Amino acid sequence: MPLALPIHDGAISPPTNPQFHGCVLVKRLTVSTIVLGILASAPALANSACFTADEAKAAHFRTMLQEFNVAALNCQSTDPNDPNPSMRDRYNTFVAKHGSKLSQNAQAVRSHFSRAGGSLDIWMTKVANADGQAVMMDPNYCQTASDKLDKALDLPGEQLEAYAASAQTYDPYVDECSTKSAAPAGSAKKKAGHKKAKADNKTAQN
Calpha distance 161→61 (Å, rounded) = 5
pLDDT digits (tens, 9 = 90+) for 89-127: 999 999 999 999 999 999 999 999 999 998 999 999 999
* Residue 81 pLDDT: 74
The verdict on pTM exceeding 0.75 is no
Calpha distance 5→58 (Å, rounded) = 17
Burial 147-169 (b: 16+ CB within 10 A, else e): ebbeebeeeeeeebbebbbebbe
